[in-house]
Amino acid sequence: MASRHTTLSQTYADRAQAATHPLSAYLFRLMDLKASNLCLSADVGTARELINLADKVGPSIVVLKTHYDLVSGWDYNPNTGTGAKLAALARKHGFLIFEDRKLTDIGKTVQMQYTAGTARIIEWAHITNMNLLAGKETVRALKQAAATWKERINYEVKTSVTVGTPVSDSFEDGEETSAVPEDQPRRDSKDSLPAGQPYNGNGRKGSVVSVTTVTQQVYEPADSPRMCKTLTEGDEILYPGIEEAPVDRGVLILAQMSSKGNLMDDRYTQACVEAARENKDFVMGYVAQECLNTEPEDDFIHMTPGCKLPPEGEDENGDIAGDGLGQQYNTPAKLIGLCGTDIVIVGRGIIKAGDPPSEAERYRRKAWKAYLARLG
């Protein structure tokens, strides 16, 4: 059981006020607004399934967790592809995108995996996570990459310019003019001019000078997850009650796992905690099995996988069988109330249900009830 840290008695709204990371503050506000502390682990096989599931379950969740490399048919187009479509749904339904990449390698490699390659994770995922087995310097490397990306976000500037040298539609004084045929009247008076034609007083047409016009319109880049201008208008709906998510990026450190026999011991977990405290401007928190906030200034977000409910009507206090592949399950009441996590991560419990949106709502209600009970 987690020690009773002060964050366990604070509302998400209060924690939003105190959060130092912009994305953490936004997420806490979103949780309070939607009365949800549910993350969907959207481990489906095709891009079509992923988009459809995110749209249907989006109203119940605050985080959508993806594994882009599991998805067949992922469209990598930064403007209209799968990432851009997920970003539009995140704005519409009010959730953040968490790419569960578990980055772990030398610093330069993780930087490239995060910002480059086919997926360009940083452009559409608000959050990613990392494994600390390669050492704490990888956190600094990722933070550096995110800062550089933020500084270099390009803005598409579409400028329409009409230019030209002032030109009269008649010759200047002193220049020869073409002879007027005998059978055509000379326009030597104001009355003889066509309607609207200026009269210059000497029997000749007045000069009409072209005017240079400069029109400039500035757009955010289409590959920004905040606004994708190339998607359909219906996808540009913004969830009511909250602005768009900040462009800042955040990382979760994989500090503990829910799989049986994993090798993440106490020494490893403590190193994760130290790395988080040293990089609070980038590290939002942890993927962990319990609350790791112990110091007074700690206010890290905790997300926990391995959450499952028994079928409707069955006792929720009993043990829940694993999946036979090492995954161990716990109920929202245990994870939030006893272990002190903030957001429960649910995958197959929702995805494999006969009615995923209804089941997502059931998980949302149970997880939120556990949070309210913890406050009480």
CA angle 301, 143, 19 (to 5 degrees): 30
Task: Please state which architecture CATH assigns to domain 6-153+225-375.
Answer: Alpha-Beta Barrel (3.20)
Q: How far is CA 253 from the centre of its chain?
A: 18
Q: SS in 3 state form for 296-340?
A: CCCCCEEEECCECCCCCCCCCCCCCCCCCCCECCECHHHHHHHCC
Check 105, 136, 280, 369 and give the catalytic one. Answer: 105
102 is written with which tokens? 């578990």
Does the pLDDT at position 172 exceed 90? Answer: no
Question: At 236, is the pLDDT very low, low, confident or very high (cuts 50, 70, 90)?
Answer: low
pTM: 0.79
233 CB-near residues (< 8 Å, 6+ apart): none
Check 56, 102, 136, 369 and give the catalytic one. Answer: 102
Does the pLDDT at position 206 exceed 80? Answer: no
Residue 249 marked ligand-binding: no
CA angle 85, 87, 90 (to 5 degrees): 115
pLDDT of res. 315:
64
In the chain, alpha helices (H): 12-18, 22-34, 47-57, 82-93, 107-115, 137-151, 266-278, 332, 348-351, 356-375
Q: Could you tell me which residue, 366 or 224, shows the higher pLDDT? A: 366
Residue 258 marked ligand-binding: yes
Question: At 90, is the pLDDT very low, low, confident or very high (cuts 50, 70, 90)?
Answer: very high
pLDDT of res. 329:
85
Residue 197 marked ligand-binding: no
pLDDT of res. 259:
87
pLDDT in tens, 188-202: 444 444 454 544 544
pLDDT in tens, 100-110: 999 999 999 99
Question: At 167, is the pLDDT very low, low, confident or very high (cuts 50, 70, 90)?
Answer: very low
CA gap 295, 250 in Å, rounded: 21
Check 85, 92, 100, 248 and give the catalytic one. Answer: 100
pLDDT of res. 124:
96
Is the CB of residue 302 less than 8 Å from the CB of residue 344?
no
**Span 287-302, mean pLDDT?**
97
CB atoms within 10 A of CB 334: 19
100 an active-site residue? yes
Residues facing 303 on adjacent strands: 287, 343
102 an active-site residue? yes
280 an active-site residue? no
363 is written with which tokens? 């998980």
Percentage of the chain surpassing pLDDT 90? Answer: 69
Does the pLDDT at position 204 exceed 90? Answer: no
Residue 43 marked ligand-binding: yes
CA angle 250, 256, 258 (to 5 degrees): 115
358 CB-near residues (< 8 Å, 6+ apart): none
Domain boundaries, the chain: 6-153+225-375
The one-character DSSP state at 73 is T
Residue 281 marked ligand-binding: no
**Span 64-72, mean pLDDT?**
97
**Span 138-166, mean pLDDT?**
71
CA gap 246, 250 in Å, rounded: 11
3-state helix, strand, coil in the chain (%, to 5): 35, 15, 50
Q: Could you tell me which residue, 261 or 61, shows the higher pLDDT? A: 61
pLDDT in tens, 334-364: 999 999 999 999 999 999 999 999 999 999 9
Span of 79-88, 236-245, 361-370 with lowest mean pLDDT: 236-245
Residue 65 marked ligand-binding: yes
**Span 50-66, mean pLDDT?**
98
